[in-house]
């Protein structure tokens, strides 16, 4: 099990038109602070020049078993030592067959046999090659041997056909490897989160909502899944993609969100209420569009259900975490909210800084006091919050 941040990988390239994507993948790993050593097969060098990868990773690119850079002649072994993982992208059908059957006739295949780290393979091939019985047997054997197979995706292929076999996009591969590297502090735990705004209908085309983007809640869902939890995300209206490994339930109103949460609470270890839920909803929404007139319009509002307070008040309540987005007196208002709703932990932040932005600065408030965290990107913050929550969960 990986217990430290990703620091160094070996990126392997095999022959295939998808080799051009490896340039962007290299750039993304380097941007994320990961040292990348690139190993290319002879076929890969026909599709993309080693110099391109060398310029992007800032290190020598290795292409030959006999000149692999080690003074002791053991580059085929030494290259994988100290690496967190070997990531082969693209992984051709031939390469998958080699590894599945223990062949080692070039630098990359030899490295995979001599490794003492994880191996990821991102297949890339024609749809019929991917569907071939021999390829399916080889992939099944690789999975049984502990190799992590990423994808493939489905869509248009360079040959003009459409189907499974496309290499995953670089962002997807980076996300998968980064997720694997996160400590599994929530392994075996079940988490329910809410995220995004709610929409309270005034009439069939208008409603009351807010500017929450859902980014913080989605980042927390991703971080919890990375940490090994089974995650259910109850989401208000947002255009964000569902994080990998997360079960998503789409809702619109506060009432719908409350019902979805209630339905999914059985056996849950923690409930994290990140959503910006409307405090009020129209008492009697119009069944048809309200027509504009010169007269003032009055809408009677009634309070919505307080979702996190209702969950915290249950006899079998999970560990409850609230969020408080305040415009003034942030910590005082958040602490008052925590005590009123009887929450063990609340995350306080300024609404002006949080809504719609890609980073955030928060303070954790619990019975022991205040615990400020520095400003950071929302995914980094989510991973920090997951570690904080995991450390506070009751022992099983």
Determine the 3-state secondary structure of 193 from DSSP.
strand
Residues 168, 22: contact at Cβ < 8 Å?
A: no
* 135/32 Cα distance (integer angstroms): 33
Q: What is the pLDDT of residue 122?
A: 95
* Average pLDDT taken over every residue of the chain: 91
Q: What is the pTM of this model?
A: 0.82
- The pLDDT-based confidence of 284 (bands split at 50, 70, 90) is very high
Model confidence at 145: pLDDT above 50: yes
Tokens of residue 296, six digits:
């003032």
Which residue in 45, 57, 159, 320 is the catalytic one? 159
* 44/88 Cα distance (integer angstroms): 11
**High-pLDDT (> 70) share of the chain, %:** 95
Average pLDDT over residues 176-200: 94
**What value, to the nearest 5°, has the Cα angle with vertex 365 and ends 360 and 366?**
145
Question: Could you tell me the fold of the domain covering 8-181?
Answer: Rossmann fold (3.40.50)
Within this chain, domains 8-181 and 190-391 share the same CATH topology? yes
Question: Could you tell me the fold of the domain covering 190-391?
Answer: Rossmann fold (3.40.50)
Average pLDDT over residues 204-230: 94
Q: Domain boundaries in the chain?
A: 8-181, 190-391
Helix, strand, coil percent values for the chain (each to nearest 5): 35, 25, 40
45 catalytic residue (yes or no): no
Q: What is the pLDDT of residue 2?
A: 45
The model's pLDDT over 238-281, given as tens digits with 9 standing for 90+, comes to 999 999 889 999 999 999 999 999 999 999 999 999 999 999 99
**What value, to the nearest 5°, has the Cα angle with vertex 265 and ends 264 and 266?**
100
Q: What is the pLDDT of residue 74?
A: 60
């Amino acid at each position: 099990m990986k217990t430290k941040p990703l620091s160094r990988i070996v990126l392997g390239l095999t022959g295939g038109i998808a080799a051009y994507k490896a340039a962007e993948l290299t750039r993304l790993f380097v941007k994320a602070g990961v040292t990348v050593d690139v190993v290319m097969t002879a076929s890969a060098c026909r599709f993309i020049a080693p110099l391109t990868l060398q310029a992007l990773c800032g290190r020598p690119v290795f292409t030959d078993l006999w000149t692999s850079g080690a003074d002791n002649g053991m580059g085929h072994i030494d290259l994988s030592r100290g690496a967190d993982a070997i990531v082969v992208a693209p992984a051709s059908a031939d390469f998958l067959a080699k590894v599945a059957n223990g062949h080692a006739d070039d630098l990359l295949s030899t490295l995979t046999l001599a490794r003492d780290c994880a191996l990821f393979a991102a297949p890339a091939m024609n749809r019929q090659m991917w569907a071939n019985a021999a390829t399916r047997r080889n992939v099944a054997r690789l999975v049984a041997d502990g190799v992590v197979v990423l994808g493939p995706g489905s869509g248009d292929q360079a040959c003009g056909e459409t189907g499974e076999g496309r290499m995953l996009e670089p962002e997807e591969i980076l996300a998968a490897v980064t997720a694997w590297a996160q400590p599994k502090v929530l392994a075996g735990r079940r988490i329910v989160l809410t995220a995004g705004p709610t929409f309270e209908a005034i009439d069939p085309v208008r409603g009351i909502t807010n500017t929450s983007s859902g980014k913080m809640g989605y980042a927390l869902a991703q971080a919890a899944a990375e940490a090994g939890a089974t995650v259910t995300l109850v989401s208000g209206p947002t255009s964000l993609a569902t994080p990998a490994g997360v079960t998503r339930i789409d809702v619109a109103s506060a009432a719908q969100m409350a019902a979805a949460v209630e339905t999914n609470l059985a056996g849950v270890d923690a409930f994290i209420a990140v959503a910006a839920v409307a405090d009020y909803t129209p008492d009697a929404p119009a069944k048809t569009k309200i027509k504009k007139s010169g007269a003032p319009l009055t809408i009677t509002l009634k309070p919505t259900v307080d979702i996190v307070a209702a969950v915290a008040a249950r006899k079998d309540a999970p560990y409850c975490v609230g969020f408080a987005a305040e415009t003034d007196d942030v910590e005082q208002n958040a602490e008052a909210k925590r005590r009123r709703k009887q929450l063990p932990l609340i995350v306080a932040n300024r609404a002006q800084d949080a809504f719609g932005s890609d980073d955030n600065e928060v303070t954790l408030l619990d019975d022991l006091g205040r615990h400020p965290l520095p400003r950071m990107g929302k995914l980094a913050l989510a991973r920090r919050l997951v570690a904080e929550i995991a450390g506070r969960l009751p022992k099983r």
